Amino acid sequence: MGKIKVGIIGPGNIGLDLLYKLGRSEYLTPELIVNIRHSEGIEYAEKMGIRTSTEGVAAILKEDDIDIVFDCTSATAHAFHAPLLKEAGKFTLDLTPAAVGPYCVPAVNMNDSMLELENVNLVTCAGQATVPIVAAINEVADVSYAEIVSSISSKSAGPGTRQNIDEFTVTTARALRDVGGADDSKVIIVLNPAEPPIFMRNTIYTKVKNPNINAIKKAVEDMVDKIKVYVPGYQILLEPIIQDDIVTTMIQVEGLGDYLPVYSGNLDIINAAAVNIAEAYVKKKLGGE
Amino acid sequence: MGKIYITDTTLRDGSHSVSHRFSPDDIKSITSGLDKAGVDIIELGHGDGLTGSTINYGFSDYSDYELIEAAASVVKNAKLAVLLIPGIGTVEDLEKAKKAGATAVRVATHCTEADISMQHIRAAKEIGLWTVGFLMMAHLTDTERLVEEALKMESYGADVVYVTDSAGAMLPVDVTEKITALKKALKIPIGHHSHNNLGLAIANSLVAIEAGATYIDGSLSGLGAGAGNTSTETLVAVMNKMKYEHGVDLYKTMDVSSDSLIPILNSKGLSPQTNLDAMLIGYSGVYSSFMLHARRAADRFNVDVRDVLMELGRRKAVGGQEDWIIEVAQQISKKN
């Protein structure tokens, strides 16, 4: 059987980066990318030889052989798209903070029943980077409070993120609790315009009930190995250190340099996670047939 | 030149200096004093703004809203401002702050990232808060870019935009260039917030005013992050000497510093290096070595050392006339 055809809504930083990642997939192929108007992103995709449309979601709904859709627009737009895509029976990966479907962080909570849903949400880039560490620490040390500081280069934060930074922090904080397992959480996002641009960097503070640092270190190492399978540039910058009951861990994400250069680890990690989920969906489907 | 409006940030930027441990009672005492002194805007809360109480920035003993409520319970004239840094605090936090009694907000972003303030500035205006756009670390970008970013904040609805020298790294020439450019490009008033790390806080505040800024930040005793901010008392003294129009009373700001802030800081184990008597020597134009003599004379005749120094200034005493001090102190004690 051939590759599964994928549609992308929104040719921004995320959407265009996905074209590269999907282009390399053994299971998926980017079939159509849509926007609601002509844009630089549409031109870019055309130059890459990808079919485009300026009719928005309607163009995708018309294509029966598109099985999987990546929505890279905004929370508001996705709330409109989600029921239409569901109706059309398309498995939808929501890369906006809309959270119509449940949060999915592949290294932590992806499972067969999640792949049977019609819509899963990718949290945020900071969520994909930090939730796994919180979940790993929570597993062995019981996290009562998780606080993350996520620094991203100004160049890799697109207008969607900038105009909705509250949704970004609130969604990430919720995922630290719902998926990471922390009782309480706080998220801080910092944009840094330094040139050359900084790599995406995340500091994860956790307040733990069971401060066994060796168990924590081991759990974090194992989790990093799981993430590296789909995000090769994910690395520990500071292995867990503890003071009183507060554990500090720092990680950095180097991107693959697809659409934006390697400093945009934030694009890489959310897209890599989305592609990983889509591939798991296809593999499950193939396995079932 | 129009009226100069003073924002005192002792209870917000100064919160850094006390590791965010100002209590509701501390807040009441200082807010009440600043309000009576005629300060236009009083900013308070965690040094890193709403919900800044974190592992990363240091926990505060009290919630943002308890502190705002404390201030709101005593303030009569001044606007009560909170700081909101998008990426840390949210619109929801701002709504809670407004319910607790805040009447103004300063929405702060790094100087090149004004667009992340759009949702917060708009929301602030919608809920009826007087709103300042606060462009931090302004030394890190060029004037052209700073103007672009300030224009964005203006377009979102900010009432004032600030050139914020968060690192205390700007030279007077930089302040002049940036404020002049913003003044020319924007319709709304321009403000300046300085830090005294290079000893330039007052100088920079003055050149900001000369370049057209009409909103200036100070803090009592200069309490604030790093070397602190422009001292509100000194700023008022200098503005009086410059004959700028403003609404703040010099003696009353000195009183709230000496009678409220200093005891509070002492109770937290801090002993700030403030010398308001020396400031008044400069203000009144009296020979510097008169200071210790004037203090002794004021003690001896139970009078306010400030009145002694001011009178010596009026009499144009010159160096060497320390003998006049006792006579002046005695005269004042007779009048009292």
pLDDT at A1: 58
Q: What is the mean pLDDT of chain B?
A: 96
For A164, residues 6+ apart whose C-beta sits below 8 A from its C-beta are A74, A75, A97, B119
Q: At what angle do helices B64-72 and B91-100 cross, to 10 degrees?
A: 30
Count of helix runs (H) and strand runs (E) in chain A: 10, 11
Please list every residue in chain A whose beta carbon sits closer than 8 Å to the beta carbon of residue B51. 186
- DSSP for B248-289, written as a single string: --HHHHHHIIIIIIHHHHHHTT------HHHHHHHHHT--TT
Mean pLDDT of A53-73: 96
**B46 flagged as catalytic:** no
In this complex, do A162 and B118 lie within 8 Å of one another by their Cβ atoms? Answer: yes
Residue A113 pLDDT level (bands cut at 50, 70, 90): very high
| Predicted local confidence at residue A95, as pLDDT | 95
Contact B91 A186 (CB under 8 A): no
* Averaged pLDDT for residues A76-93: 96
Interstrand relation of B104-110 and A246-253 (parallel, antiparallel or unpaired): unpaired
Comparing alpha-carbon positions, the chain B residue that sits nearest to A245 is: B55
Tell me the DSSP string of B36-99.
Answer: HTT-SEEEES-TT-TT--BTTTB--SS-HHHHHHHHHTT-SSSEEEEEE-BTTB-HHHHHHHHH
> Among B63, B115, B166, which would you mutate to test the A interface (most chain A Cβ atoms within 10 Å of its Cβ)?
B115
Test mutation, A156, A188, A247, A250, chain B, max B CBs within 10 A: A188
pLDDT of A288 higher than 80: no
pLDDT tens per residue, range B278-328: 999 999 999 999 999 999 999 999 999 999 999 999 999 999 999 999 999
Q: Backbone dihedral region of A205: left (phi > 0), alpha (psi from -120 to 50 degrees) or beta?
A: beta
A240 and A142 both lie in a single domain = yes
Residue A197 preceded by cis peptide, ω within 30: no
**CATH 3.10.450.50 assigned to B5-267:** no
Tell me, yes or no, whether A51 and A94 share the same domain.
yes
- With a cut of 80, say whether residue B1 has pLDDT above it: no
Flag if A193 and B90 touch (Cβ within 8 Å).
Answer: no
**Helix/strand/coil percent split, chain B, to 5:** 50, 15, 35
**Separation of alpha carbons A286 and A38, rounded Å:** 36
Q: Give chain A positions within 8 Å (CB) of B110.
A: 190-193
Tell the CATH topology of B276-335.
Answer: Helicase, Ruva Protein; domain 3 (1.10.8)
pLDDT band at A212, cuts 50/70/90? Answer: very high
Does residue A217 sit in the same domain as residue A175? yes
Give dist(CA B26, CA B18) in Å, integer. Answer: 12
- pTM, whole model, 2 decimals? 0.93
Residues A227 and A284 in one domain: no
CB pair distance less than 8 Å for A191 and B87: yes
Are A192 and B110 an interchain contact pair (Cβ–Cβ within 8 Å)? yes
Spatial CA neighbour of A107 closest among A179, A156, A14: A179
Same domain, yes or no, for A229 and A163?
yes
Shared domain for A11 and A117, answered yes or no, is yes
pLDDT at A289 over 60: no
| pLDDT tens-digit series, residues A16-45 | 999 999 999 999 999 999 999 999 999 999
Residue A15: the pLDDT is 95
Identify which of A147, A169, A170 has the shortest CB distance to residue B56: A147
- Count of alpha carbons within 13 Å of B192, Cβ hemisphere only? 35
How many structural domains comprise chain A? 2
pLDDT band, residue A161 (cuts 50/70/90): confident
Average pLDDT over residues A3-13: 95
Tokens of A86: 């569901």
- Option in B112, B116, B141 nearest A165 (CB): B116
Instruction: Please report the pLDDT score of residue A271 as a whole number.
Output: 96
User: CA torsion angle for A86, A87, A89, A93 (degrees, to 10)?
Assistant: -20
* A174 vs A1 pLDDT, higher one: A174
Show me where the domains of chain B are located. Answer: 5-267, 276-335
* pLDDT per position as a tens digit, B324-336: 999 999 999 998 7
Predicted confidence at residue A75, as pLDDT, reads 86
Average pLDDT over residues A233-250: 97
**Residue-level pLDDT at B11:** 98
Amino acid at B85: I
Q: At A2, list the tokens.
A: 């051939």
pLDDT at A241 over 60: yes
Q: Which pLDDT band, with edges at 50, 70 and 90, does B185 fall under?
A: very high
Q: Please judge whether B116 and A149 are an interchain contact, meaning their C-beta atoms are less than 8 angstroms apart.
A: no
Choose among B60, B56, B35, B27: nearest CA to B46: B60
Token reading at B204 = 């920079």
pLDDT at A262 over 70: yes
Q: What is the pLDDT of residue A33?
A: 97
Residues A185 and A117 placed together within one structural domain of the fold: no
Q: What is the pLDDT of residues B37-95, one digit of tens each?
A: 999 999 999 999 999 999 999 999 999 999 999 999 999 999 999 999 999 999 999 99
Residue B3: count other Cβ atoms within 10 Å of its Cβ: 10
Q: Is the pLDDT of residue B171 over 80?
A: yes
Q: Do A191 and B90 touch (CB under 8 A)?
A: no
B113: chain A residues, CB-CB within 8 Å: 154, 162, 191, 193
Judge if A110 and A165 occupy the same domain: no
- Is the pLDDT score of A179 beyond 60? yes
Residue B215: pLDDT over 60? yes
Range of the domain at A196: 125-265
Claim to verify: residue A133 and residue A260 sit in the same structural domain: yes
Same domain, A81 and A172: no
H-helix or E-strand containing B233? helix B232-241
pLDDT of residue A191: 96
Size of interface A-B (CB pairs under 8 A): 55
- Would the pLDDT of B164 be above 90? yes
Nearest one of B51, B226, B326, B123 to A189, comparing CA atoms: B51
Interface of A with B (CB under 8 A): 147, 149, 154, 159, 162-166, 169-170, 186, 188-193, 203, 205, 207, 246
B186 alpha-carbon distance from chain centroid: 23
CB atoms within 10 A of CB A101: 18
> What is the pLDDT at residue B56?
96
pLDDT grade for A97, boundaries at 50, 70 and 90 = confident
For range A65-75, the mean pLDDT = 94
Pairing of strands A200-208, A184-192: unpaired
Active site residues of A: 125
